[in-house]
Amino acid sequence: MARQLLNVPFAAPAGGIINITKWKDESLSTVTAVTDGRAALINTTFNKLKSDSESYMLVTGIIAADGMPNYPQIGMCLTIDDIAIGHTDTTISGRNGAGGGGIFYCGPDIQNEGTLHIVHKSFKEFTVNAGSHTLKGGWSSNQAVRSLIYKNPNSSLSGTYGGADRHHQTGSHVLIYEIAR
């Protein structure tokens, strides 16, 4: 059977990855409570090469964190150009919160432990045309809500909570895929 495949003429695949943009942040930063934290975790630009009818965007990665002051999941969102950001926005396919989600909190609910935010969202159902775009990740909620205290914790946090946090250097890594439809 494999022998027959050797004689098949090459044909371009119908789909596949067109482009990958990498975002990386390894600097320790304090994340304070803010009125709108949509860009508190990720704020970067990228270029989409093809039209919306030819390709869509898929974003995946991890954000290293420390501490969990309150309500880690409320209003978490990942958006491109603030598409349907409102948590009660019903303008996209009649869905509540269509612009929300895409970042998920994973870890203990305590202030002196390392946590992780998992980033994964497809923008296949949204219109994202060719050109420059802004990717934001964080939360769209009130000032009391945030899912971390420190982004990219490292050993300089030792003793911050009166304990012995012994973090190694951490980093946040996100890949922005442009995928053929």
Is pTM beyond 0.75? Reply is yes
- Tens-digit pLDDT profile for residues 84-120: 665 454 444 434 445 578 888 887 776 667 788 999 9
pLDDT, residue 93, reads 43
157-168 in b/e form (b: 16+ CB < 10 A) is beebeeeebebe
Give the pLDDT confidence of 111-153 residue by residue, as tens digits.
Answer: 667 788 999 999 998 899 999 999 999 887 777 778 888 888 8
Lowest mean pLDDT among 12-16, 71-75, 78-82, 93-97: 93-97
Q: What is the 3-state secondary structure (H, E, C) of the chain?
A: CHHHHCCCCCCCCCCEEEEEEEEEECCCEECCCCCCEEEEEEEEEEEECCCCCCEEEEEEEEEEEECCCECCCCCEEEEECCCCCCCCCCCCCCCCCCCEECEEEECCCCCCCEEEEEEEEECCCCCCCCEEEEEEEEECCCCCCECCCEECCCHHHCCCCCCCCCCCCCCEEEEEEEEEC
Chain center to CA of 34: 19
